[in-house]
Homo-oligomer: A and B are copies of this chain.
Amino acid sequence: MSKITYDSALVIGMGLIGSSIARAIKEKQISKKIFAIDRDSEVINISKNLNLVDAIESDLNKYNQQFDIIFICTPLSSYRDIFKQLNSYVNKTTLVTDVGSTKVSVIEDFKESINNKKILFVPAHPIAGLEKSGPEFGFAKLFENRYCILTPIETQSEITRSISDIWESFGMNIEIMEPKRHDRVLAMTSHIPQLIAYSVVGTATELESQMKNEVIKYSAAGFRDFTRLAGSDPVMWRDVYEKNKEAVLEMLGRFSEDLLTYQKAIRNNDLKYLEEKFIKSKEIRKIIEEIGQAGTFDPTEKN
């Protein structure tokens, strides 16, 4: 892959992902200058203190320049406003991509808000994350060896290639997918596990208070894995369930049916059924480790 260098990049939303992108742009020298926008004054301060970008403002209109490439890294509920602002602001050809967890809704918002032909948008979803939120937790390596799914709106092969090159330069493996399929697959790999994690943690918080304290105390027994997911940004996730409602409800229905069969097996002492199911699940884990998508868990504490 040849070296790409742009003059100016803009990151909208300097949370975990946005700030990781800013770091990756710098590390991989994708752009000479990196600018950012965030509405949160604390995020602005942290970004300045950590020297993550060349400049950061609270609003696009505070800038007096155009950009070559723009990354939208905000919760899904703010996309429409951002698209509308870009629609009137952009006056030179600009590549735009995003990191949103749903893609059908993003494309709808785009089509409803943008008629500016200088905006060349290719929706993206880098499958990478961490349970932390905020610019202080981002890091450039977050994207390495992870997949980035692109869901191009039309067959704009040249633009898609340019956007793809940028994500690839961060160390990602690029996949092209239909937006609708993306939303179904991600409902299962991401939105359902996340919702269930929230729900398990929620169940625990509603236990009588002594029991609740004990659940927290002995969380190393498995519960803590669910709290890890439940540590991510609440607003981001709230938006995901609004925007990917249909697929989430479908997969949730399947999950609930399956859980009922386990419940029935436990009630009926059907140990053979349980063991067979558990063995199958263990095999899936093995595959995920083999393809290098398992991450690394250390059960001890970092000091």
Contact = CB atoms under 8 A, between A and B. Distances in A.
Interface of A: 127-131, 141-142, 144-147, 149, 184-186, 188-207, 211, 214-232, 234-235, 237-239, 241-242, 245, 248-249, 251-252, 254-256, 258-259, 262-263, 266-267, 269, 271, 274-275, 277-282, 284-289, 291-302
B282 A231 contact: yes
A207 to B, nearest CB: 7
Can you tell how many copies of this chain the complex includes?
A: 2
A235 B282 CA distance: 11
Q: Which secondary structure dominates where chain A touches chain B? A: helix
A241 to B, nearest CB: 5
Most interface-central of A206, A295, A296 (chain B CB within 10 A): A295
B225 A193 contact: yes
A242 B219 contact: no
A221 B285 contact: no
Given A188-B215, A189-B218, A266 B249 contact: yes
Contact of A202 (B207, B223, B231, B258): B258
Given A188-B204, A224-B288, A225-B225, 20 more contacts: A127-B220, A127-B221, A128-B220, A141-B300, A149-B218, A185-B211, A185-B214, A188-B223, A193-B200, A193-B223, A201-B280, A205-B281, A217-B291, A227-B288, A227-B294, A230-B284, A234-B275, A238-B275, A238-B278, A292-B301
B227 A284 contact: yes
Interface centre among A127, A266, A280, A287 (most CB of B within 10 A): A266
B262 A198 contact: yes
B203 A251 contact: yes
Contacts of A241: 266, 271, 274
Nearest to A275: B238
A130 to B, nearest CB: 6
Contact of A285 (B192, B231, B301): B231
A258 B228 contact: no
Nearest to A77: B271
